[in-house]
Structure 1
Amino acid sequence: MATESTPQRAYRAACPNCGAPVDFRSPASAFAVCSFCRSTIVRDGDALRKIGQSAELFDDHSPLQLGAAGSWQGATFTLVGRLQYRYKDGTWNEWHALFDSGKSGWLSEDNGRYVMAFDAPLTGAVPTAASLQPGQQQVIEGQGFAVGSVTVARLIAAQGELPFAPNTERGFVVADLRSTRGEVGTLDYADPAAPKWSIGRSVAISELAMTGLAESAEKTLSARGVECPSCGAALEVKLSTTQSIVCHQCHAVVDVSQGVGADLAHFAQDNGMEPQIPLGRIGTLALGNKPLAWQVVGYVERCEIAQDADDEQSLWREYLLYHRTEGFAFLVDAEDGWSWTAPLTGVPQASGDGVRHEGALYRKLYDYTGEVTYVLGEFYWRLSRHERTANTDYVGTGNASKKRLNREVTGSGDTREIVWSGGETLAASDVAKAFKIAPDQQAALQRDALPTSFDRKMIGKIILWGVIIVVLLILFRCGDGGGAADCSALRSTYGEASTEYQNCLASQRSGSRTSGGSFGGFSSGGGHK
């Protein structure tokens, strides 16, 4: 036995299976997974005993790793263990953070960002897993929560020092609940007779002042190679959290949520519009905090599902933005202007027909159903063909008039998930400046100009017709496969042999695809996934 000089007296012994050194930094930790042979080890006094073996970790190229250190609310911690879970839409990690005081926490993935959570005792009544439904209001330990998601997960691998023995033998129910106080609570039913409860808050890696991050994250993103199962083209998965990637050659959507070595599910999609902000472009924007360099890594086209034939249909585009230490955000290009949005950890508080969030009152605008029509790039959730979402948009009042909220529901029945996101409006000129859009392309970014404002110059008329054509082509893809779409306007304007008219006919023949909403909304996988 050997000891090291640390804030907590460390214990080191040889792995009983392979002889490699195994460390226990906390006296409260009784279990560890050998980093060399993956043996699961229990500490029994001064001896170590093998009780099983962990599966190999799915290499997701996370910027976090064992030994990385940081600070949370003035207290320093070190990442000493890792749990990797799998659910129907992919995988997620929970990192065991050991504080210098001896306290344990969990740095977990949450909707493309992170949550620092701590285990808490359950002294009162606890709902059964079977009774939980997304959208329900629940009182846990005297505090109100809204159920965000209920899913079945399984621990697939473990690493390092852990406060309990990892059980990879069976799946279990895990429920995420969110509060108006900005908290996320998790009920873990791995032991249905004694569920575990943890409470956390959203945190950015940059706020933790972390050191010792994985080298690929410290420098540039290192890519994982995968072959497109549709056309064989070489794809590079660059983001650690990517669950879906679109082939740059055939535009097939490839599911990599089960690992790049697995049989890769995929589906074909029709061609969409060219993104006005190219993939890979970096722009500096202040999205609720100080200006940061955000990179465009994904592009989504959506349009609203019309409830009846007389409804006016809306459409919008979303750009998935990535920052190494902040996580993900969305830049939304809608008919009424530009805005940004990012997932909320908590939930707003109901107030009549509206909601309150962070002291501001939001009034409800409208409900709508949307569907994804076209995607490019990489995404941190698993994309499904023609995936639909139910959305509700809210707009801030008074001094918060630029603020926006969106409530999105994905799935149905027991598999529903509810995600809130919030952000603010942006001027098109700010977007153009941030992403260095060429002057001759900036007019196409404007969404609030009246048609009469283009009458002064012929170039304005050309741009206006271009926007109309883009809108018509996208809307045709959001219809019922051809019956509702009418190409006669394009034929009379451009002629029967024109590219515009022929593209319209091709869009009708290709079948229906849709999506929707003014402030966006996105399918993000949720909870700690």
Structure 2
Amino acid sequence: MATGPQRAWRAACPHCGAPVEFASAASASAVCGFCRSTLLREGEALRRIGTSAELFDDHSPLQLGAAGKYSGAAFTVVGRQQLGYEGGSWNEWHVLFDAAGSESGFKSGWLSEDNGAYVIAFDAPLSGPVPEPADLNPGERRVVAGAIWDVASVQRARLLAAQGELPQPPRLDGGEFIVADLRNQQDEVGTLDWRDPQQPQWSVGRSVRLADLAMSGLRDDQASEKTLRGRALECPSCGAALEPSLKTTQSIVCGQCKAVVDISQGAGAELQHYAQDNTGTPPLIPLGRSGTLALGEKAPPLPWQVVGYVERIEVDVEAGEEQATWREYLLYNQREGFAFLVDAEDGWSYANPITGVPKVRGDKAEYKGTTYDQLYTYSGAVTYVLGEFYWRLNKGEKTRNTDYAAGPKRLNREQAGQEVTWSAGGALDSEAVAKAFGLGTTEAMAMRRDAKALGGSGSSVKTWLIVLVVVLVMLAIIGSCSDSNTDCQPLRDTFGEASAEYQQCLRNNRAGSGVRTSGGSYGGFSSGGGGHK
């Protein structure tokens, strides 16, 4: 069982008199939990140097006093920094290891959020040449502290608020600064922080699961749910109530007018939003539906809930070329965090963002002992969304994707704005997905995308005949689309006016050609490109 620090130093806040406790002799400052005064420790005395802003309640399961274990060493959460950037905000929790942890080489570290998951990192010496912030671009390979890293993101950030005990005084009036995330082939994440332009800070960490940290003292789920219910917001477009159900939600779609609303700055902020250009198509798996799936070779079957739905389309294609379309479902599990279920024209698959980067040479990518072949490189854009997302959705934002495959295994590289994200996953049988989410026969038939999924299912001759009839009917409908726009009416009636099927029929009609036979895309395995520093 994790235990807290064995020694503590306590003094009275010079501003309000409330007790302020230091668990580590090395800590330089603390924020009074009563009056939010920022206090600098000078020997046995405290000096007030400012006031911290009030923390934005982002409903994180972590809180001060929570304890856990990392590599067998016990730690306690003693402080927090809350930082903001254009895409939202994130927390960096200061963790202090006990005496046994110090013997293992751990003194204090940072537990930070990373794409809906967590990274535990430790400050490290920064030796050798340090690149200038202006010289860093996402996707580049650089040498930092004697090691090779890929630049994952470069963001302008600012310190919003602080809480508890910190190794250095928080500079709440320091304005914006650059934070760059770098990743390597050893699944590590490095962070360059130019909070002090003359002395950048360097830390190195690894991805962790809260379940593996054996955390205790987390925020009570029932209390959190009560707080979430109190987080109800008003849609700035139509006035309908917005009630986010996830603690990490940054964007939410209004259930009434379908406006996409940015709630990353909290209830007190002016809510930015945009109207969607089309009505989209209803998701085959309804929002809120839960299903049990094993998303990984060694992963156990776990319940996953559909919390978000995205439709994407390939853009910047050559004249006359078919635009591939795909759909993504954002899945949530309380213990594992987030995953993606992708419905593309060549089948169903799942994906998870990864901390490290594969080794890429030419058209090959190597990751965890498996070599993948490059399939497609393409650009995509979001056309329609529903539900909640842990990143901020930007209207018209494009992504640049490259897909790789090794048998059923999948890899994807996606660049969105100033961030590059790698995701790993694998193919799924459509019947397994339909069964997991309790879908009916009609929905299950509509989910079938490729012969491989059908061939591996042991379908009966009767099922094959049904599929053949459906395919022949669809081909007849699509083939008739070249006559006139009215010939696309059956597709409009079946899938909706804004559906990819109906729009493709109209494009074929205007081009006077049939449907292009192409490989399409695996859907991008998009992580959304946000939600972390």
What range is the shorter-chain TM-score in? 0.7 to 0.9
In structure 2, which of residues 19, 39, 56 is the aligned counterpart of residue 41 of structure 1? 39
Cα distance, 1:494 vs structure 2: 5.1
Which stretch shifts more, 289-298 or 456-465?
456-465
Amino acid at match of 1:68: A
Q: Could you say if the C-alpha distance between residues 325 and 501 of structure 1 is closer, same or farther in structure 2, counting changes exceeding 3 Å? A: closer
Contact 1:175/1:187 (CA < 8 Å) preserved in 2?
yes
Cα distance, 1:189 vs structure 2: 0.5
Indicate the residue corresponding to 1:64 in structure 2.
62
Equivalents in 2 of 1:22, 1:501: separation in Å?
62
Indicate the residue corresponding to 2:358 in structure 1.
348
Indicate the residue corresponding to 1:196 in structure 2.
201
Contact 1:455/1:461 (CA < 8 Å) preserved in 2?
no
Q: Does 1:31 find its partner at 2:38? A: no
Contact 1:34/1:160 (CA < 8 Å) preserved in 2?
yes
Equivalents in 2 of 1:526, 1:456: separation in Å?
43
Deviations 1:366-399 (A, max 9, x none): 1001110100000111111122111000001xxx
Indicate the residue corresponding to 1:408 in structure 2.
414
Equivalents in 2 of 1:376, 1:395: separation in Å?
29
Contact 1:84/1:91 (CA < 8 Å) preserved in 2?
yes
Correspondence list, 1:111-510, <5 A: 111-169=115-173, 170-216=175-221, 222-223=228-229, 224-269=231-276, 270-288=278-296, 289-396=299-406, 401-411=407-417, 416-449=418-451, 461=469, 488=483, 491-492=486-487, 499=493, 503=497
Cα distance, 1:323 vs structure 2: 1.5
Equivalents in 2 of 1:47, 1:467: separation in Å?
80
Equivalents in 1 of 2:289, 2:49: separation in Å?
50
Cα distance, 1:213 vs structure 2: 0.9
Q: Give the TM-score taking structure 1 as reference length.
A: 0.87
Equivalents in 2 of 1:57, 1:423: separation in Å?
36
Equivalents in 2 of 1:194, 1:468: separation in Å?
67
Equivalents in 1 of 2:145, 2:476: separation in Å?
55
Equivalents in 1 of 2:77, 2:466: separation in Å?
62
Equivalents in 2 of 1:505, 1:53: separation in Å?
53
Equivalents in 2 of 1:9, 1:468: separation in Å?
78
Contact 2:309/2:385 (CA < 8 Å) preserved in 1?
yes
In structure 2, which of residues 8, 11, 16 is the aligned counterpart of residue 10 of structure 1? 8
In structure 2, which of residues 110, 113, 134 is the aligned counterpart of residue 109 of structure 1? 113
Deviations 1:68-93 (A, max 9, x none): 11111111111110000010111000
Amino acid at match of 2:324: S
Cα distance, 1:97 vs structure 2: 0.9
Cα distance, 1:335 vs structure 2: 0.9
Which stretch shifts more, 164-173 or 449-458?
449-458
Q: Could you say if the C-alpha distance between residues 468 and 402 of structure 1 is closer, same or farther in structure 2, counting changes exceeding 3 Å? A: farther
Contact 1:391/1:517 (CA < 8 Å) preserved in 2?
no
Cα distance, 1:7 vs structure 2: 3.8
Q: Secondary structure at the match of 1:431?
A: helix
Cα distance, 1:440 vs structure 2: 3.6
Amino acid at match of 2:293: L
Equivalents in 1 of 2:498, 2:302: separation in Å?
40
Q: Could you say if the C-alpha distance between residues 467 and 41 of structure 1 is closer, same or farther in structure 2, counting changes exceeding 3 Å? A: farther
Equivalents in 2 of 1:492, 1:153: separation in Å?
53
Q: Could you say if the C-alpha distance between residues 501 and 150 of structure 1 is closer, same or farther in structure 2, counting changes exceeding 3 Å? A: closer
Deviations 1:152-203 (A, max 9, x none): 1000100000000000111110100010110110000011111100001111
Contact 1:314/1:518 (CA < 8 Å) preserved in 2?
no
Task: Work out the percentage of aligned pairs sharing the same amino acid.
Answer: 57
Deviations 1:457-501 (A, max 9, x none): 5686458757998x99xxxxxxxxxxxxx77566237589x8469
Amino acid at match of 1:133: N
Q: Could you say if the C-alpha distance between residues 159 and 504 of structure 1 is closer, same or farther in structure 2, counting changes exceeding 3 Å? A: closer
- The gaps in structure 2 that reach 5 residues or longer are 456-460, 508-519
Cα distance, 1:123 vs structure 2: 2.2
Equivalents in 2 of 1:277, 1:231: separation in Å?
26
Which stretch shifts more, 301-310 or 338-347?
301-310
Equivalents in 2 of 1:454, 1:389: separation in Å?
42
Amino acid at match of 2:213: L
Q: Could you say if the C-alpha distance between residues 304 and 190 of structure 1 is closer, same or farther in structure 2, counting changes exceeding 3 Å? A: same
Contact 2:403/2:410 (CA < 8 Å) preserved in 1?
yes
Equivalents in 2 of 1:58, 1:21: separation in Å?
23
The runs of at least 4 consecutive aligned structure 1 residues that moved more than 3 Å come to 5-8, 217-223, 449-469, 486-490, 492-496, 498-508, 525-529
Amino acid at match of 1:406: N
Indicate the residue corresponding to 1:480 in structure 2.
none
Q: Secondary structure at the match of 2:186?
A: coil
Deviations 1:272-320 (A, max 9, x none): 1111111111111122222221111100011112521232321111000
Equivalents in 1 of 2:426, 2:463: separation in Å?
31
Amino acid at match of 2:260: V
Equivalents in 2 of 1:59, 1:405: separation in Å?
35
Deviations 1:406-431 (A, max 9, x none): 000112xxxx2111111111111221
Cα distance, 1:215 vs structure 2: 1.0
What is the number of residues matched between the two proteins?
498
Cα distance, 1:350 vs structure 2: 1.5
Deviations 1:86-105 (A, max 9, x none): 10111000000111135111
Q: Could you say if the C-alpha distance between residues 200 and 62 of structure 1 is closer, same or farther in structure 2, counting changes exceeding 3 Å? A: same
Cα distance, 1:352 vs structure 2: 2.8
- The gaps in structure 1 that reach 5 residues or longer are 473-485
Amino acid at match of 2:132: T
Amino acid at match of 1:425: A
Deviations 1:10-54 (A, max 9, x none): 011221111212111011112000111110011222222211110
Indicate the residue corresponding to 1:481 in structure 2.
none
Q: Secondary structure at the match of 1:345?
A: coil
Equivalents in 2 of 1:326, 1:490: separation in Å?
47
Q: Secondary structure at the match of 1:491?
A: helix
Amino acid at match of 1:410: A
Q: Secondary structure at the match of 1:297?
A: strand
Indicate the residue corresponding to 1:482 in structure 2.
none
In structure 1, which of residues 88, 91, 114 is the aligned counterpart of residue 89 of structure 2? 91
